[in-house]
Amino acid sequence: MTASNGSAVPDFMRPVVADGPPASARVVAEHTFLALNESMKQLYETSLTTFTQNIHDQVPVVLALFNGAGGQMILYRPGQQPECAPPVPISYQIEKSVAHSTMAIYEILAPYLDDAYANQLWRAPLAMYRTQNQSALECLAALDVPDDTRATMHGVLEHNLAFMDACLSKGGYTYAELENYTRGTTPLSITLIGMASAVQVGHWMRVVENWRNELGADWERSYAATNTSHVARRNHILYTVLVQFMGAEAMGERLFLLETPEFETTPEKMLDVLGRIVADRSLGMVFFCDFYLMGDVELLGDGARTAIEREMAKRGREALLPPRVPFHCNDWPWATDPAKGTGPARLEDAVLGCPVRPVG
């Protein structure tokens, strides 16, 4: 086969060579202009690496990463290796494991509520989990935990075992029985959650306080960031601990809550996002005379607002738009106005209306 320029194209090249009419001038032009933005992205990434390194060379950075062990904190001092804080004491995970055990039983049984007596697929996993609960109960005395914590854990485990034994011996269960069981452990679960939180908070308060004292005046220039998934962003423990030592004025300026699709992320990803925020602030100042416009705000500009209003007017409806607020804000990064919400605002309030039978 001969190409349009007169040169022969070998047959083995046919699968990878365009076999159709040449692109129009319009398509070529579109690709040319789109290439400008692709090049900008590459140049931005290259510059961002330099910007991020410059930040590390000049100011301390604290990362507080969410994980199932109560979190991880890392201090990056200029010119030094990262310092990983000691982990939260293991008692936090132990207390949380027992507090979550009721939910695990619910997860086993809930899929078969329609006819648990006929569909026995729940039996094997429940029997296995019963063995694990029994082993935990037998090991309880060996744990290094306070007596009140041990007693609370004992109550949950005994309640778990009694309910699982009833299900296995009867060969089934009803929704009413499952609900009564879960509600019955609610007071103890709330107590355990509070105990675990006290261990977590006390640990991180000591860590951050020590870092603040060690850094001295440099603490006032430091940046800090923690990650969150959407479900955990409204009451974030690590962020709130950091606020205690950085102050409300640092929120949105040097302290950031970065929302991610996963519960856990990596320090590298966190540093990348932090670098983007700080670097884009200078860009915003150079281009738009506002330090916080580019790095901190997902901009709904007047052009977009006007377009939304116009499109909604075509549909005979009023546009719903957020109020215009300053780009720079030191407010909490979650809902803070009780008048704009409904229902309970505390875990304890959420269960007040639930019938809960006493647990010994």
Q: Quick one: 152 exposed, middle or buried, by C-beta within 10 A (0-12, 13-18, 19+)?
A: buried
| Pairing label, strands 61-65, 72-76 | antiparallel
Q: Got the DSSP string for 27-52?
A: HHHHHHHHHHHHHHHHHHHHHHHHHH
Q: What are phi and psi of 11, to 5 degrees?
A: -60, -35
What confidence score (pLDDT) does residue 360 get? 45
What confidence score (pLDDT) does residue 177 get? 94
Residues 6+ apart with CB under 8 A from 143: 91, 94, 150
What confidence score (pLDDT) does residue 336 get? 83
Measured between alpha carbons, how far is 180 from 19 in angstroms, rounded to an integer? 70
Going by the DSSP 8-state scheme, the letter that residue 343 receives in this structure is: S
| Pairing label, strands 223-228, 255-259 | parallel
What confidence score (pLDDT) does residue 357 get? 57
CA quadruple 76, 80, 81, 83: dihedral, nearest 10: -50
**Residue spans of alpha helices (H) in 216-266:** 237-246
Q: What is the pLDDT along the chain (360 residues), one digit of tens a residue?
A: 555 554 677 888 877 777 767 878 998 898 898 898 889 888 888 888 888 888 888 999 999 999 989 999 999 999 899 999 999 999 999 999 999 999 999 999 999 999 999 999 999 999 999 999 999 999 999 999 999 999 999 999 999 999 999 999 999 999 999 999 999 898 899 999 999 999 999 999 999 999 999 999 999 999 999 998 877 777 899 999 999 999 999 999 999 999 888 888 999 999 988 988 888 888 888 888 888 888 777 677 788 889 999 999 999 999 999 888 888 888 888 888 888 888 887 777 777 667 655 544
CB atoms within 10 A of CB 173: 21
